[in-house]
Amino acid sequence: MNMEEANKLVGAGKNQLVMGKVVEAVSTLQEACGILAKAYGDTADECAEAFFWCGRALLDLARMENSVLGNALEGVPEGDEDEKPQESNVEGTENVDEKTRDELRVQVYDAMAEKPEDAKKKAEGDKKLEESDREGTTTTTTTTNCIAERMSKINMNVLQESNEEEEEEVGNLQLAAEMLEVAKVIYKRKELKEDQLMAAQAHLRLGEVSVESGNYTQALEDFQECLSLQLKHLDADSRLLAETHYQLGLTFTLNQQYKEAIDELNRSVSVIKSRLENLTELIAKAAGPEALSEERQEMEELKALLPDIQEKVEDATAMKAVLVGRFSTCGSLKIFGLTVSLLVVMRLSGWCLHFVCCTEW
């Protein structure tokens, strides 16, 4: 009954996340995590899906909060510390059930440092749970080491800027990392293709957490591990591969590694073009214009993605040229008899415009 109830909650939480109801999704998925952890143990296989989706929801909530904070601070002078920003229509952390969040936080910490005697108590009267807890001892140690190592690397910028009272409370970004880390460990110890691909997705979301916190080195490690797992189990024209190459390209750009960024973005373009060719052949053999509707929709989506990726390739190329001092002329105009050549460089982080001017008599 517990598993059935939890599965319904996970399904409801995923639907809420798709519909943009992030706060509700976090609350629903936290409830599912609590039920499963209580019934099977914090590092049980049954907890993986709930922990993964709860981590994704928390990541979205952290992004939403950062976006709201950024919008609220726009145009506010740095000296006006006493002034409070106007209230936003977007719900924040304060509207999430604190009791539920605290319970979930305890469960995550238990997963990181579960005591053997506590695990033994959980197993009383149930042989199956006892065997699961024995296996979980080794897994818990691995989980603890992985999470401890990651959390020592992640630079939590949001927490550093908060006051002392807020620093005592675990932020959504950090909690997302912890939830995804546990889910990743559970999935990686399983050998089925589906589980390995979910482990890859956990790495992908962990990479996004690191990008949000500004730790690009850690993000690149996770994206590359994600790509390694996907290459073993996915077709060469999979959209998931294109997404991972794209994330690597963006992160390399943010880390000012422009050559690597260009390579990864071009690989993303290549995967998408390969997929488009295969879809075109498939649709050409279809019975009629109404057949293969999903494939036709996918084709339109992929076509819409290409210009954006190619634009980012151009941006990274321009930044690389600036970095090595190889300026090229994008336009010119006459000012007081002088020919002024302009190079406009778009920076992906903040999309700031930079102008490099050269004059010719």
pLDDT at 361 over 90: no
State the Cα–Cα distance between residues 207 and 184, nearest whole angstrom: 12
pLDDT at 350 over 50: no
Per residue in 259-272, pLDDT (tens digit) is: 999 999 999 999 99
With a pLDDT cut of 90, the percent of the chain lying above it is 51
Q: pLDDT value at position 291?
A: 79
State the Cα–Cα distance between residues 180 and 51, nearest whole angstrom: 7
DSSP state of 356: E
- Whole-model pTM? 0.68
Mean pLDDT, residues 333-348: 42
- Model confidence at 99, pLDDT cuts 50, 70, 90, reads low
pLDDT at 95 over 80: no
Residues 6+ apart with CB under 8 A from 164: none
- Laid out side by side, the sheet with 338-346 consists of 331-335, 338-346, 353-360
Please state the φ and ψ torsions of residue 44, each to the nearest 5 degrees: -70, 155
- Model confidence at 98, pLDDT cuts 50, 70, 90, reads low
Per residue in 283-296, pLDDT (tens digit) is: 888 877 777 888 89
Q: pLDDT value at position 322?
A: 84
pLDDT at 334 over 50: no
Average model confidence (pLDDT) across the chain:
75
Are 161 and 119 in contact, with CB atoms under 8 Å apart? Answer: no
- Model confidence at 1, pLDDT cuts 50, 70, 90, reads low
Of residues 34 and 115, which shows the higher confidence score?
Answer: 34
pLDDT at 316 over 50: yes
Residue type, 167: E
- Model confidence at 108, pLDDT cuts 50, 70, 90, reads low
- For 84, 132, 201, 225, the CA distances from 184, given in Å and listed in that order, are 40, 18, 8, 11
Per residue in 188-233, pLDDT (tens digit) is: 999 999 999 999 999 999 999 999 999 999 999 999 999 999 999 9
Of residues 91 and 176, which shows the higher confidence score?
Answer: 176
| Closest among 280, 271, 274 to 299, alpha carbons compared | 280
